Amino acid sequence: MCYFYGMKIALAQIAPHLGNLEKNWDLHQEAAAKARQAQADLLVFPELSLTGYKLRDLVESVAQDPERSPRFRELMALSRDLALVVGFIEERGEEKGIFYNSAAFLAEGRIVHIHRKVFLPTFGMFEEARFWAPGNHFGTFRSPFGQAGMMICRDFLHLNAGYLLFAGGAEMMITISAAPGRGLSGEKGFGSSRMWELMGESLSFFTTSAQIYCNRAGIEDGMTFAGGSFVFSPKGALLAQAPYFEEALLFAELDPADVRKARQTWPWKRDDKPEVTLNSLQRILLRHDD
């Protein structure tokens, strides 16, 4: 178990430039400078922060192999004293022409973990599976701040994704997002923002883990990204939230020792029965009747 106090998280609710790696790299460096100045320990960027979201056929021109790309060498250097989560299009040398919407966690000068988005929204205004391939795994990893897991945008809205990270021991879940605002009404902000907040609050409380959600701002092809990035504590308390729609750099102080306290109060983790989940899923998948 890792003990550390007053961990400072920075969420860069930026508006990436569509298909422009150079301009986006500038945005990353600017945010990193500010985060470092504020003595942040972790800086999280939104989904596809290095490339912009609605890429369509631009995807091949912005794809990067994290093992070989010069940009990743620069990111690794940047992560020596500031842990980073960035969003990018992943294409490995050994898997040419196959593109993933990925999140990289970098710390202490190296790539610690890469998550490929599993659930690709392809309906209505979304066309992700048309242009990139799905990931197939939700895994946790040892971060400088304890056991962590990552999700990308739509992953977060699937209950099984959050559950798998919980079962894998995550004390902290980081979700990077490019969620557009949908549903203008008389209420404050977009109706769809509530959906993310509801899941953030629920997961934080029922998995007793910190929920770090970084959404983006800006407009692409008339699609307005809703912002509203947030951090919930492992006790289910909202620690900080960025404004809707606008660009912002949000800071939140998190005490990961809260995981221990929360899990003594609410022993969901201790009493979880992953073997029952596994057995039940096998029955469901094999269509066994009781």
Kindly list the strands in the beta sheet with 248-254, ordered across the sheet, starting from the edge strand earlier in the chain.
110-116, 100-107, 83-90, 42-44, 7-13, 248-254
Count of CA atoms in the C-beta half-sphere (13 A) of 287: 0
The verdict on 18 binding other proteins (CB under 8 A) reads yes
Q: Which is nearer to other proteins, 227 or 234 (CB)?
A: 227
Per DSSP, the residues of 111-167 read EEEEEE------STT--HHHHSB------EEEEBTEEEEEEEGGGGGSHHHHHHHHH
The verdict on 124 binding other proteins (CB under 8 A) reads no
Q: How far is CA 126 from CA 102, 178, 185, 228, in A?
A: 17, 11, 22, 20
Q: Which is nearer to other proteins, 197 or 253 (CB)?
A: 197
- Work out which of 222, 275, 276, 286 binds other proteins, going by CB under 8 A: 222
Among 31-39, 55-63, 113-121, 172-180, the segment contacting other proteins (CB under 8 A) = 55-63
- Work out which of 66, 180, 218, 256 binds other proteins, going by CB under 8 A: 218
141 bridge partner residues:
148
Question: Coil, strand or helix: which one is 82?
Answer: coil
The verdict on 54 binding other proteins (CB under 8 A) reads yes
Q: Which is nearer to other proteins, 112 or 217 (CB)?
A: 217
- Work out which of 34, 36, 58, 266 binds other proteins, going by CB under 8 A: 58
Numbers of helices and strands, H then E, in the chain: 8, 14
Contact between 25 and 50 (Cβ < 8 Å): yes
Q: Which is nearer to other proteins, 67 or 187 (CB)?
A: 187
144 bridge partner residues:
146
Q: Which is nearer to other proteins, 30 or 187 (CB)?
A: 187
The verdict on 87 binding other proteins (CB under 8 A) reads no
In whole angstroms, the minimum distance from the beta carbon of 5 to other proteins comes to 38
For residues 129-188, which are near other proteins according to CB under 8 A? 181, 184-188
The verdict on 26 binding other proteins (CB under 8 A) reads no
Among 48-56, 110-118, 250-258, 264-272, the segment contacting other proteins (CB under 8 A) = 48-56
- Work out which of 221, 271, 289, 290 binds other proteins, going by CB under 8 A: 221
* Residues touching other proteins, count (CB under 8 A): 24
Pairing of strands 146-152, 172-176: parallel
| Rounded distance between C-alpha atoms, residue 43 and residue 75, angstroms | 12
CA trace torsion 217, 43, 77, 37 (10° rounding)? 100
In whole angstroms, the minimum distance from the beta carbon of 96 to other proteins comes to 19
The verdict on 245 binding other proteins (CB under 8 A) reads yes
CA trace torsion 75, 178, 117, 197 (10° rounding)? 110
| Rounded distance between C-alpha atoms, residue 266 and residue 269, angstroms | 8
In whole angstroms, the minimum distance from the beta carbon of 189 to other proteins comes to 7
- Enumerate binding residues for other proteins (CB under 8 A): 17-20, 54-58, 181, 184-189, 218-222, 224, 244-245
